[in-house]
Amino acid sequence: MKRIAIDPKLLGAQHWLAPLGTLVPVMGRHTDPAALADVDALVIRSVTRVDTALMAHTSADFVGTTTIGFDHIDRDLMAQRGIRWTNAPGCNALAVADYVESVMAHWCADQGRAVDSLRVAVIGVGGIGRIVAQRLAAMGCTVMLNDPPRHAAGDLPEHVALADCLAQADVISVHVPLITQGPTPTRDLLGLTELDLLGADQLLISAGRGGAVDNSALRARLQQPNAPRAALDVWHGEPDIMPELWPLAWIATPHIAGHALEGKLRGTWMVAQSLAAHWGVEFSGPSVSEVAAGMLAKPRQARELDWITRAHQIYDVRADDARFRAALDGLTGAALAAAFDQLRDGYPKRREIHD
């Protein structure tokens, strides 16, 4: 029987990966490379950095991350070693859109703004950005789209320059991957110059990768009197986040925007299918929605509720923010990093808002 090293926090591994091979739990962020010596495949989350050191002793020829982002995988190494790798595109896109919806519901209530009066800029119009833009447009928002790679490829004629988005939108929602090379890198996409374009009436939502916003610049900006509000789900250097930054955020969460049950399960389900195809074996198992429903029933159907009520009853981001503040208050260094990871690993069960 083949052996599959898995992050023990994967959801659904027993349903979809166990039929393919013997599961060997490893340690997520702290995986010992020696533990991979005799495995055939590695199935991970975003916390496991797949690099030369991790892969030093293994002959595994498959790496799957049950996440959308794949900046934690050294793709050059995968190519050099002939290792097939895959991510799970779109697996938790709906959950991230739920996060944005919940943040905006609370911001509108707080500011006394009607959602259909808002101008919202979506930065990075891929799988997630597209869903966010469609939902907000359906609620009556004026939506501005920024995505230079798609614009350059000719499929986003309505593209708006980043500076115009920052200067004109009420809400700016950032959904770019972490890209460090090439013509349109996203590392520190929002630095001092860009953050200076924002004012006190604006809300910045960051739910892509922490490295896309210069955290030192944001800290400085949020300390100024006309600072915008910031809802931050992702942080530079996770789990070693900047202890001076998070208390300045209006909403602070531990990289859980995508952590609805369906999002996590779908990631495992998608990677298991890729692994089955890689090994040329049949794939079977229950559906994602069956497994999610067995883990947590939805309190109400989304269609029965208006969007503000949904943001309270199905997914309320303020509960995540409250847990974050209570757990991280006063912590620095290793204790802060450990508390950040514990919040993620012990995240409560949550369903996607929409059916």
Ligand X SMILES: O=C(O)C(=O)[C@H](O)COP(=O)(O)O
What's the min distance (Å) between Cβ of 176 and ligand X? 12
User: C-beta of 179: minimal distance to ligand X in Å?
Assistant: 13
Confirm whether residue 46 is marked as ligand binding. Answer: yes
- Give the Cβ contact number of residue 243 at 10 Å: 14
Q: Let me know the angle formed at the C-alpha of 99 by 124 and 171, rounded to the nearest 5 degrees.
A: 55
> Is residue 68 within the footprint of ligand X (CB under 6 A)?
yes
What tokens does 268 get? 């495992």
* 147 labelled binding-site residue: yes
Residue selected from 150, 229, 266, 310 as contacting ligand NAI according to rule CB under 6 A: 150
The catalytic position among 150, 151, 209, 351 is 209
CA separation for the pair 174, 280 (Å, rounded): 39
Report the C-alpha gap between 230 and 270 in whole angstroms.
Answer: 33
Asked about 72 being catalytic, the answer comes back as: no
- Determine the Cα–Cα distance for residues 281 and 276; give it in Å rounded to an integer: 5
45 is a site residue for ligand X (CB under 6 A): yes
Per CB under 6 A, contacts with ligand NAI among 237-276 are: 255, 257-258
Three-state SS at 184: coil
The tally of CA atoms less than 13 A away on the side-chain side of residue 93 is 20
CA distance 145 to 159: 5
- 238 annotated active-site: yes
Site string for ligand NAI, 105-124 (x = CB under 6 A): ------------------xx
Q: Please report where in the chains the tokens 């890689």 appear, as a residue.
A: 278
Q: Using an 8 Å Cβ cutoff, are 70 and 48 in contact?
A: no
The reply to whether 255 belongs to the active site is yes
Which of 92, 173, 202, 206 binds ligand X (CB under 6 A)? It is: 92
Integer CA distances (angstroms), 50 to 151, 168, 240, 277, 295, in order: 31, 40, 19, 22, 30
User: If DSSP codes are grouped into helix, strand and coil, which group holds residue 334?
Assistant: helix
C-alpha 261/C-alpha 266 separation (Å) is 8
Q: Which stretch binds ligand X (CB under 6 A): 43-51, 74-82, 244-252, 312-320?
A: 43-51
From the list 67, 146, 268, 274, which residue makes contact with ligand X (rule: CB under 6 A)?
67
When binding is defined by CB under 6 A, the residue of 24, 179, 319, 327 that contacts ligand NAI is 179
Site for ligand NAI contains 209 (CB under 6 A): yes
Judged by CB under 6 A, the number of residues near ligand NAI is 33
Contacts of 311 (CB under 8 A, 6+ apart): 101, 102, 105, 106, 317
- Is 237 annotated for ligand binding? no
The distance of closest approach from Cβ of residue 85 to ligand NAI in the complex, given in angstroms and rounded to an integer, is 15
Tell me if 67 is assigned to a ligand binding site: yes
Which residues of this protein are in contact with ligand X, per CB under 6 A?
45-47, 67-69, 92, 255, 258
Which residues of this protein are in contact with ligand NAI, per CB under 6 A?
68-69, 90, 92-93, 96, 123-129, 146-150, 175-177, 179, 184, 186, 189, 207-209, 233-234, 255, 257-258
Please identify every residue annotated as catalytic.
209, 238, 255
